[in-house]
Amino acid sequence: MTVPRLLGSISEAPEGDATGPLLVLLPSLGTTTAVWDEVVAELVQSYPALRVLRVDLPGHGASPATQEPFSISELAEATLHVVDEIDVARFHVAGLSLGGTIAIELAAAHPERLKSFAAFCSGARIGDTQGWAERASQVRSSGTASLVGGAAARWYAPGYLENHPTGPGAKALGTLLDVDDESYALCTDALGRFDRTASLGEIRTPGLIVSGEHDGVATTASMKALADALPRARFAEITDAAHLAPLEKPQVAASLLLDAIDVPTAASPSETGMAVRRAVLGDDHVDAALAGITPETAPFQDFITRYAWGEVWARPQLSRRERSIATLASLVTSGHHAEIRMHVRAALRNGLHRDEIAEVIFHTALYAGLPAANAALAIMREVFADTTDDNQAPEK
């Protein structure tokens, strides 16, 4: 076994600020760091001080091919070597699928180096040894080109490729053709040997565990079980997404990551508030609200950005997911229908499943009354039927 050489790229903070926190992003088997492109764009817009280091797997993207076997533990060591090259002691890490196993390994073996970790569509053990051995044999005999059809079915939710024929999903499938065959096979060998299930209870690093609703590889049930086994982890599901959930839903993934890495409040309340507001509500909604500002409404817009988003929503005591639950219950109780519409959308961005949003409203019926809950459910159905409808007058 050897520690392979890994390479990547870093998105530096504005003006070369080297004091901001570092987030390391790791891709999935068969993809490159491009799988995180749109997530990174969301992150740096919402949190300009954040530095993002993306690291490719062996024989994928920028990292050189290898003929020597390695383990997930050695991939974790190789990742640390890349971080050490930019002289950072502690950092956040997030990985997708195979990248998620590296994040889990770092949390288990090197907790002193991590501030937090996130595993998207991954696991403490993925699949079984025989399945990975069969995948390795297929690639060694027929190359990665033989995997494209199966990858398309595993990676994406039904209809995604048809609705985005020239988008990042199709490009990722094309990238699979360029992955070095033996390096890919060695990655599958490493996955076949990886099993951290017995040590999950010892991991004390704050964790974020995220599944894709339609993922048949790292299912929602398996990801929930993983989160439950970790002492300091929280779980979220990204709806209408499969195994490459961050690629399919980059805004949601970025919002979850910003929440997990705890965007600091050292910035002014207005700066923090705008970052949180955009992460929760989305750029289109916030831009529409800002475009409608008049001299008379400007003080109110500044007030809610500073107070609601920069102070209350930015507090670390509750996650954004939990704050969405509390907000929906409050809005149903008070009958603020226009705001319910906005915050159903926000709850989806914050990782709540549609069934969970409906359950919050159903539970609130006990205390707010049936008419209030019935009206809220009608609004919820409208939002679910058209989640791209951004033509509502901005309320905040």
Sort strands 91-96 and 114-120 into parallel, antiparallel or unpaired.
parallel
Q: Where are the beta strands (DSSP E) in the chain?
A: 8-11, 22-26, 51-55, 91-96, 114-120, 207-212, 233-238
Domains and CATH numbers, the chain: 8-260 (3.40.50.1820), 269-385 (1.20.1290.10)
Q: Which residues partner with 55 through β-bridges?
A: 8
pLDDT of residue 393: 35
DSSP, collapsed to helix, strand or coil, labels residue 333 as: helix
Task: List Cβ neighbours of 134 (8 Å cut-off, separation of 6 or more).
Answer: none
Low-confidence ranges of the chain (pLDDT < 70): 13-18, 262-268, 388-396
Q: Which of 189, 29, 207 is nearest to 116 (CA)?
A: 207
- The DSSP H or E segment spanning 212 is strand 207-212
Q: How far apart are CA 203 and CA 226, in angstroms?
A: 12
Token pair of 246 as six digits: 């961050």
Residue that is written with structure tokens 């229908």 in the block: 337
How many of the other CB atoms lie within 10 Å of CB of 360?
A: 22
Helices marked H in 249-394:
250-260, 269-281, 283-291, 298-303, 320-334, 337-349, 354-368, 370-385
Token pair of 342 as six digits: 């906005």
Contact between 26 and 93 (Cβ < 8 Å): yes
pLDDT of residue 263: 54
pLDDT of residue 16: 56
Token pair of 123 as six digits: 């696991």
Q: How far apart are CA 272 and CA 155, in angstroms?
A: 34
